[in-house]
A and B are shown apart, each in its own frame.
Chain A
């Protein structure tokens, strides 16, 4: 019985791992909220990064923008969150959104951004999508 319970728990844990892993791969598919979203990163020098978020919707949204974003750094070969859940910016009554953020890490560090985009229609329905940016080495 104990073994069965252990196997069941391990299977559930494995399932959740698969679920999280799959979400890291953003595939192109139809969407009735967003038409595009992405992140642009550039170097500011001194370990600084400039992050530009941009997204467009399929129609004018009541709210559109970035709910939050996290900064990840590659440490010993693994991506580690170094600045989690930074609040993003949101725009109202718009079909497109652009905003900018900065992050100051260390020169030579490799970073990427994990962004949560958000859109809400006038009927109250809303949606989140998550996307990784390409990685960049700060100078």
Chain B
């Protein structure tokens, strides 16, 4: 079915061909070219071929032009149509534009959808293929966070190179690592940072401290040679902050028990057991392959029990 715009375009072309006659019609003051086209379109209701409509147009023109019979008008129209058919076809720029627009839209939509699905299912192979497309179309503002390129380069580096790369990123606030318990601070801002009791078989492995404008962290890691557990203390330093921390856990776990006067949430994360509790401006996190009873004893030892 021809579109209204197509019919109108073809009719306009014929009217342009008519030239003087069309101007003469306008001069009559009885009808404008647009009126004529609208009338013809209304008559055909867009359900006929463009040629039929054009014929209706030229007949209508003839009816208003007293010097030309409908037969003469139709004959002239047929000559014009024959001439148009003999004219060498020019490249259809509009068609090319449509195809290009459709191709871009298709790539865009497929990139969005495929990329979204790949991300949802963590199909990294697809993510890496689509990443350049997503970036090209500005779709990966967040998604480009997934770009493993930098990290992949990092992973390919040797340990020394990796250390140098990371070293370049450090600024005034640096994590400090401790390989000896004696060198490590035990109290931060009045909060005891590590337990005085740990389960049998475990020993101090390493510790990490960090201090910036707002927060102080102290992580103490213990190992029994096969598994590890850690005690982490996080303290807010006297400024108003907005914080949101997420603790990974198995669905359905999260039992609150009172230990040393604090409400401690015990939960499981895979095969690990975790415990988290807050104490004024601080919170503690313990995580490892531990029994809840051992974690309770660790907590009690932090508070002198």
List residues of A whose CB falls within 8 A of some B CB: 9, 12-13, 15-17, 19-20, 22-23, 26, 28-32, 34-44, 50, 52, 54, 56, 58-60, 63, 67-70, 81, 84-85, 87, 89-92, 94-100, 114, 116, 118, 120, 124, 126, 128, 130-136
- Tell me, rounded to whole Å, the shortest Cβ–Cβ distance linking B221 to chain A: 5
If A41-B242, A42-B214, A124-B155 touch, does A35 touch B173 (CB 8 Å cutoff)?
Answer: no
* A60 x B242 contact (CB < 8 A): no
Interface size on B, residues (CB 8 A): 68
The answer to whether A89 touches B242 (Cβ under 8 A) is no
Jot down 10 A-B pairs with beta carbons below 8 A, ordered by A: A16-B113, A28-B251, A30-B268, A35-B272, A44-B213, A68-B144, A68-B145, A89-B169, A90-B154, A126-B151
Which residues does chain A contribute within 8 Å of B120, judged by CB atoms? 19, 22-23
**How many A-B residue contacts, CB cutoff 8 Å?**
201
Contacts of A36 in B (CB 8 A): 245-248, 285, 287
Contacts of A19 in B (CB 8 A): 116-117, 119-120
From B113, B119, B163, B287, A15 is in contact (CB under 8 Å) with B113
Q: B245's closest neighbor in chain A, by CB?
A: A38
Interface centre among A36, A128, A130 (most CB of B within 10 A): A36
Whether a CB of chain A sits under 8 angstroms from the CB of B18 is no
CB of B219 within 8 A of CB of A96, answer yes
- Tell me the interface secondary structure of chain A in the complex: strand
A17 to B113, CA, bound (A): 8
A56-B155 contact given A39-B244, A136-B242, CB 8 Å threshold: no
A50-B213, A56-B230 known; A67 vs B151 contact (CB < 8 Å): yes
Q: Which residues of A contact B242 (CB under 8 A)?
A: 40-42, 133-136
Collect the chain A residues with CB atoms within 8 Å of residue B241's CB.
40-42
